[in-house]
């Protein structure tokens, strides 16, 4: 069974239809890369999955359970949306770290707040917080920032900030981790360190959706690639196939323009 | 003579200080209410609030004081709503100052609230935080950091603006200094008490400048 099933998602802003009949599925442990020119709806799709935007049509199912159905208001209760968001993690293009917290606190904060809601938190407060802290330290070590845990975001380079953001998203153990052009806001010499981290996540079979303009990276790291254009999925297939032997004219054009740049 | 003058000026400055504090206590929260009004999604409320703020900020506080203190006595059948004497003058001053400063503060709050990138809210939501948690744990401190520098300017201006209440004869420190020119406590024609009132403002504003500088420094550990 797929961990994620997206069925017929539609989204419009005013008169503009931004997503048209978007359907795809994702297997556990797989990575999908989404490519496509600017304005094709990639960010909007990720925002719909994370329920930052409400799709106008379609369904989202995680582990076979429908978490959102545009036609069924009972799946859209504000009180439940918060919990449902936890199925997904999102790494933003511009990091969005919390500036007043250190790298370590950025990673710990959300888990602490969730732990406080659990029964028995008061009784085991010490042990729980200790465990959250240890987990956050592990994650920061995993992204290569063991020496930077006590730095504030403004003391870190863009690449380091994005790695903190990845650790922060991982801390909640989402079923599916989404990346929205994680290296687009970085100087070219800093993209490598972030891509390496994502690559190592793929090697550990982290389930991911990666929106990216790094074609070689998408080809090497993703299992499948989705090419989007003007709100439609134009082509979807195994990563190597789509990059090396695109079937659709529009995909060929896009890839040619890309390699000519 | 010096002690007599200083004693009288102290009494005046106490009134200055009282007006200053009462204005802050009233205008700091009222300003927040006004800023919410000016950001309301309900357009009529938004435009009403913004028009009101525009009028208050676009006209002199002195004019507002005069209107608030004298006009009700002419138009209301029941006469002036303000009690007689210094307490009535103080009440009218406090109301005028609170309204005026709430409008200035509201604009500063609005800048502070809207200045926090929406990405902060979205990052919190994606991490499963409630809007309340995001406000108190993430955005509030960032707003405060943005608000402190313009607020400290405004509050130092408020210290000096309290002297405007003299237009309705509130017995604040400049009124007290001036009284020695006209004749008071057995003295008349004294010039220096007027100059000396400036020392009170300088010292108090010096203290506030240090205080706000300290707060800004406390918040400088992040950007
Ligand atoms: N909140 C919004 N309001 C109106 N239009 C939007 C909004 N967000 C995105 N759009 C429009 O939707 C289209 C797709 O945007 P986006 O999903 O950001 O594309 P991509 O990430 O592929 O560049 C664009 O035309 C964009 O202008
Ligand atoms: Mg985008």
Model ipTM over 0.85: yes
Q: How far away is chain B from the Cα of A103, in angstroms, using its nearest Cα?
A: 12
Distance of CA B62 to the CA centre of its chain: 14
The Cα A212–Cα A36 span in angstroms is: 8
pLDDT above 90 for B126: yes
Contact between A22 and A58 under an 8 Å Cβ cutoff? The reply is: yes
- The 10 Å CB-count burial string (b at 16+, else e) for B84-106 is eeeebbbbbbbbbbbbbbbbbbb
Across A5-22, average pLDDT: 97
Chain A residues whose CB is inside 8 A of the B143 CB are none
* A5 CA to centre of own chain: 15
Partnered with residue A91 across adjacent β-strands are A179
Asked if B119 and A99 come within 8 Å (Cβ–Cβ), the reply is: no
The pLDDT assigned to B1 comes to 84
Ion ligand 2: residues, CB within 5 A, are: A 43
Q: What is the pLDDT of residues B178-192, one digit of tens each?
A: 999 998 888 888 999
Rounded to an integer, the average pLDDT of B127-151 is 96
- Those residues whose C-beta lies under 8 Å from the C-beta of residue B102, and which sit 6 or more positions away, are B26, B27, B30, B31, B33, B34
Residue A26, C-beta contacts closer than 8 angstroms, at least 6 positions apart: A2, A3, A4, A5, A32, A176, A207, A209
Closest protein CA for atom 24 of ligand 1: A39
Instruction: Please say if the pLDDT value at position A48 is more than 90.
Output: yes
The pLDDT, as a whole number, for residue A257 is: 87
pLDDT digits (tens, 9 = 90+) for A204-246: 999 999 999 999 999 999 999 999 999 999 999 999 999 999 9
Q: What is the mean pLDDT of residues A59-63?
A: 97
Question: With bands split at pLDDT 50, 70 and 90, how would you rate the model's confidence at A248?
Answer: very high
pLDDT digits (tens, 9 = 90+) for A160-207: 999 999 999 999 999 999 999 999 999 999 999 999 999 999 999 999
CA distance B211 to chain A (A): 21
Task: Choose, out of B128, B133, B218, the residue to mutate when testing the contact with A (most A CBs < 10 Å).
Answer: B128
- B128 to A82: CB separation less than 8 angstroms, yes or no: yes
Measured from the Cα of A231, ligand 1's closest atom is 14
Instruction: Quickly state the pLDDT bin for A261 (edges 50, 70, 90).
Output: low
């Amino acid at each position: 069974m797929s961990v994620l099933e997206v069925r017929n998602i539609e989204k419009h802003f005013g008169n503009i239809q931004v997503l048209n009949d978007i359907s795809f599925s994702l297997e556990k442990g797989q990575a999908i890369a989404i490519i496509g020119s600017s304005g094709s709806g990639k960010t909007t799709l990720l925002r719909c999955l994370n329920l930052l935007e409400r799709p106008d049509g379609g369904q989202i199912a995680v582990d076979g359970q429908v978490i959102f159905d545009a036609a069924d208001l009972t799946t859209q209760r504000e009180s439940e949306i918060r919990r449902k968001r936890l199925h997904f993690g999102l790494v933003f293009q511009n990091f969005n770290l919390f500036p007043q917290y250190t790298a370590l606190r950025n990673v710990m904060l959300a888990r602490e707040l969730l732990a406080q809601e659990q029964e028995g938190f008061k009784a085991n407060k010490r042990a729980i917080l200790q465990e959250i802290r240890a987990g956050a330290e592990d994650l920061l070590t995993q992204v290569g920032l063991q020496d930077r845990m006590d730095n504030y975001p403004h003391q870190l380079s863009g690449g380091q900030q994005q790695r903190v953001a990845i650790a922060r998203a991982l801390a909640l153990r989402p079923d599916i981790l989404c990346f929205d052009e994680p290296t687009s806001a970085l100087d070219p010499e800093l993209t490598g360190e972030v891509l390496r981290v994502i690559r190592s996540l793929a090697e550990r079979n982290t389930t991911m959706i990666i929106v990216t303009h790094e074609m070689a990276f998408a080809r090497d790291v993703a299992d499948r690639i989705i090419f989007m254009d003007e709100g439609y999925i134009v082509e979807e297939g195994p990563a190597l196939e789509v990059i090396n032997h695109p079937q659709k004219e529009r995909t060929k054009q896009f890839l040619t323009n890309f390699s000519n740049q | 003579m010096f002690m007599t003058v200083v004693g009288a000026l102290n009494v005046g400055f106490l009134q200055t200080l009282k007006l200053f504090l009462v204005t802050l206590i009233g205008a700091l929260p009222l300003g927040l209410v006004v800023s919410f009004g000016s950001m309301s999604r309900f357009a009529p409320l938004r435009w009403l609030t913004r028009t009101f703020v525009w009028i208050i900020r676009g006209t002199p506080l002195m004019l507002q004081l005069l209107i608030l203190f004298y006009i009700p006595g002419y138009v209301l059948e029941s006469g002036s709503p303000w009690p007689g004497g210094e307490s009535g003058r103080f009440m009218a001053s406090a109301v005028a100052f609170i309204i005026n400063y709430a409008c200035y503060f509201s604009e500063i709050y609005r800048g502070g609230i809207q200045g926090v990138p929406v990405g902060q809210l979205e990052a919190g939501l994606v991490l499963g935080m409630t809007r309340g948690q995001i406000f108190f744990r993430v955005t509030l401190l960032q707003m405060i950091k943005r608000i402190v520098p313009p607020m400290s300017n405004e509050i130092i201006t408020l210290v000096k603006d309290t002297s405007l209440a003299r237009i309705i004869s509130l017995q604040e420190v400049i009124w007290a200094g001036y009284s020695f020119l006209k004749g008071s406590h057995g003295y008349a024609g004294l010039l220096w008490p007027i100059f000396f009132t400036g020392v009170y403002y300088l010292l108090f504003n010096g203290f506030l400048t240090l205080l706000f500088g300290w707060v800004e420094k406390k918040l400088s550990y992040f950007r």
